[in-house]
A and B are shown apart, each in its own frame.
Chain A
Amino acid sequence: MKNYLNIIIAYSIMLGLIILVGVFQSWSIALTIFNYCMISAVMTMGANIQWGYAGLINFGIMGYTALGGLAVVLVSVAPVSEAWSVGGVNMLISLLFIILMIFSVRYVLKNIEKSKKRNYLVAGIIIVGLFLIKIISGPAIELIEAVEPAKTGFLGGLGMPVLFSWIVGGFFAAGLAFIVGKVALGLRADYLAIATLLIAEIVVSIIKHEDWLARGVKNVIGLKRPAPYEIDLQTSPWFIDLVEKFHSTKLSLTNSLTERQDLLNQLVIDASSIYVKLCFAGLFLIVVIILLLVTQKALYSPWGRMMRAIRDNEEAASAMGKNVVKQHLFIFILGSAIVGIAGAMMVTNDGLFTPGSYRPMRYTFVIWVMVIVGGTGNNFGAILGGFVVWFLWVEAAPIALFFINLFTSHLPETNEIKIHLINSAPYFRFLLVGIGLLLIMRFRPQGIIPEKIIKQ
């Protein structure tokens, strides 16, 4: 119990802060923040597995998040049958060509000795393959994108339940991580950071510009939800009854019947949005708890000890007969898959997929700040980091506004500096997060909740 005291204190403070938001701003905002904190926590856990357990830098979090989001579209959206009929066959043939290309490159790499000839052969296969794919898919893409461009213009998905897409998102991210890991994991730490960031940028730019896949920057809206819709709740009698019971004292204060009805309607609308967010919060909580149990178990298992040994001294671990390359690849895939799940969760929560919004600032660097602030190598720390930094990121603007008003209260309303500062309140989030990171790096480099190694 004593071991966990600081964790419990830190978590209670965090929860208290969110409750304060609920009291002072609104419960709906507090729940939105809570849900996003949870999604950030999952991403942070993924990054923490890679960095904290194995010392691998992955700046490509943005790419895996985007792939997770793509999975939601490809799994849950109903297929666009017209698009399939005009261009489906050609796209499937192109996919076949891609698979053929991969296998022939693999074959060449395995069976021909390392030489200039082999390099040319691989390059030749890739160029011919790309050329053929372009010829086959080009007209099909045009046809697909011409199918009701304002509404669809893409192939659509499989029309399956949205929760299934969370798993698929994990697998998509794992697939990308396998390729990236094979290509880049041998690089030195800072090169790896840059390489993963740039590969993620390539992935996002493909998702952004291949409109036939997921409408690109035109966004996919109105995705399925694992929770009820507000409109349905507002018309279902059981929900109205529930709200009525919950607020019976408040309702009994009003006398006239019409006023009472108006108040009830307002309460039902508020309650429906809170109810939906609570449903999401429950689902996310389940994911976080499962991941926490599994990662915690893994961390203190023989496997976790081996990973720490590899992290702290690669040569020694490899001398003890551990396959460092294989373990690095495995943990890279594992962490990325978790990030992919988080990406799918986020898109499900938003109900829309906006490829244009995947930017390195928000989806790589902020997540890394979370990992470092929370505590590397400690799952509780990672979750806390997700909560703390996301809370700061969202609440920085109101806090900054409060302080600006406090310090400039002696100035008249028309003062130019005051107006300028008030207008730039949203940007104080960068300042707050940046200074937070610098302070933590300087004075508590191991994070708020440092790594703890239990000795048996």
Chain B
Amino acid sequence: MDFINAIIVLLNYTILPALTYGSQLALGAIFVTLIYGILRFANFATGDMMSFGTMFAVLFTYYLQSKGISFGFLPTALLTIPFAVAMMISYMLIIDKTVFSYYRINKSPPVQLAMVSIGVMFVTQAIIRIIIGPTDRRFMDGEKFILKASEFKDMTGLAEGLTIKSTQIITIVVTIILVAILFWFLNKTKTGTSMRAYSDNEDLALLSGIDPKKVVLITWIIAGILATIGGVLYGLDKSYRPFVYFNNMLPIFAAAIAGGIGNPYGAFLGGYLIAFAEIFLTYAYKRFFIYILPEQLEPNSLMQLLSTDYKFAISFSILVIVLVFRPSGIFEGKKI
């Protein structure tokens, strides 16, 4: 019984949150990696682009709520995703047309494009703050919990409760569906194959008649979908605040590079790697050990490896270690 309790503690406080957070990071990381692989630059506007899409989801949600429309037990924000994605994609295409395409056509070095993306980051941040302001916003509605701790205790008679928030399940399910579709698209369709070819060897792809404009367009469309949905899922689970989204850029980069940049499988796994490392290393295992160890060995400290203040620092350290020892990423060799 104690053993099951210990497992429930882990499941409740580490595994479930890590899976959720990992899914959110994974979507962002695939976004970064696609832009890097196909458009060939590190996009420093990642966090703010996610924030931009989410902003529209928040605004549309408020609008629908004011009209009295809801999505039953699911959050209303899910209804607004198509609109938000459309806004996001049009913004990205405008930015691409006015800013990025010039440097792409001139074959500028990636560093220059990265610098330009910093300019885009500033502008996007300004637009977001002017439209919606810098404050914290919650737009989650509908059923909050799928399983409450007390219900679980009544059901099983265990001492530890298991709480499943609906946002956690929504995040994990949506991510799996989205990523499955994406990988199917990249591997099985003609457009996806041409994108992979373009990513592997641009000149050869052009020679074999692949239309670069189409590849770029599709890349931005996929990026828009990933960025918006990733952002909305994060916002539903926690809350929407522009500054936090900007900061999330860093663990997302860490996930993308740890998985080997330009490699969507790697980015997907990298997201979970970062999330699990962050949560497992900062969790206080005291309760876990109380269940699992005999009474005389019970710990009296928190049994925490690192304080939660260093959550971000862990993902950055992982990244630095990966960069130094395996710059091509942990999951190298499995190209898209």
Contacts and interface: CB of A to CB of B under 8 A. Distances in A.
A361 B125 CA distance: 11
A438 interface: yes
B280 to A, nearest CB: 16
A389 to B, nearest CB: 11
Given A201-B250, A205-B312, A434 B323 contact: no
Given A190-B110, A193-B42, A361-B246, A198 B122 contact: no
Given A184-B323, A195-B320, A431-B130, A438 B120 contact: yes
B112 A434 contact: no
Contact of B126 (A187, A197, A205, A427): A427
Interface in B261-314: 307, 309-310, 312-313
A345 interface: no
A183 B324 contact: yes
Interface in B103-135: 109-112, 114-116, 118-127, 129-130, 133-134
B114 A438 contact: no
A183 B120 contact: no
B92 interface: no
A201 B316 contact: yes
A441 B319 contact: no
Nearest to A431: B126
Nearest to A438: B119
Contacts of B44: 365
B230 to A, nearest CB: 19
Interface residues of B, number: 43
Interface in A416-456: 421, 423-424, 427-431, 433-435, 437-438, 441-442, 445
A199 B119 contact: no
B254 interface: yes
Nearest to B109: A189
A198 B316 contact: yes
A369 B319 CA distance: 26
A404 to B, nearest CB: 11
B320 A198 contact: yes
B257 interface: yes
B243 to A, nearest CB: 9
Contacts of A57: 111
B214 to A, nearest CB: 25
Given A201-B313, A424-B130, A365 B253 contact: no
A179 B282 CA distance: 26
A368 interface: yes
B319 A431 contact: no
A368 B118 contact: yes
B43 to A, nearest CB: 10
A34 B309 CA distance: 36
B257 to A, nearest CB: 7
A251 B203 CA distance: 79
Interface string A17-29: 0000000000000
Report the contact-size class of chain A (Cβ under 8 Å from the partner): 35 or more
Contacts of B310: 205, 209
B56 interface: no
Interface string A277-294: 000000000000000000
Contacts of B109: 189
B123 A430 contact: yes
A199 B320 contact: yes
Interface in B70-125: 99, 102, 109-112, 114-116, 118-125
Contact of B319 (A195, A368, A438): A195
A188 B120 CA distance: 22
Contacts of B309: 205, 208-209
B31 interface: no
Interface in A336-368: 361, 365, 368
A201 B324 CA distance: 17
Interface string B125-155: 1110110011000000000000000000000
A191 B116 contact: no
B173 to A, nearest CB: 31
A187 B257 CA distance: 12
Contacts of B21: none
A160 B74 CA distance: 62
Contact of A205 (B41, B99, B313): B313
Given A191-B327, A369-B118, A441 B110 contact: no
A365 B246 contact: no
B317 interface: yes
Task: State the 5 A-B residue pairs at the shortest beta-carbon distance, nearest first.
Answer: A434-B122, A431-B126, A430-B126, A434-B123, A427-B129
Interface of A: 57, 183-184, 187-191, 193-195, 197-199, 201-202, 205-206, 208-209, 361, 365, 368-369, 372, 421, 423-424, 427-431, 433-435, 437-438, 441-442, 445
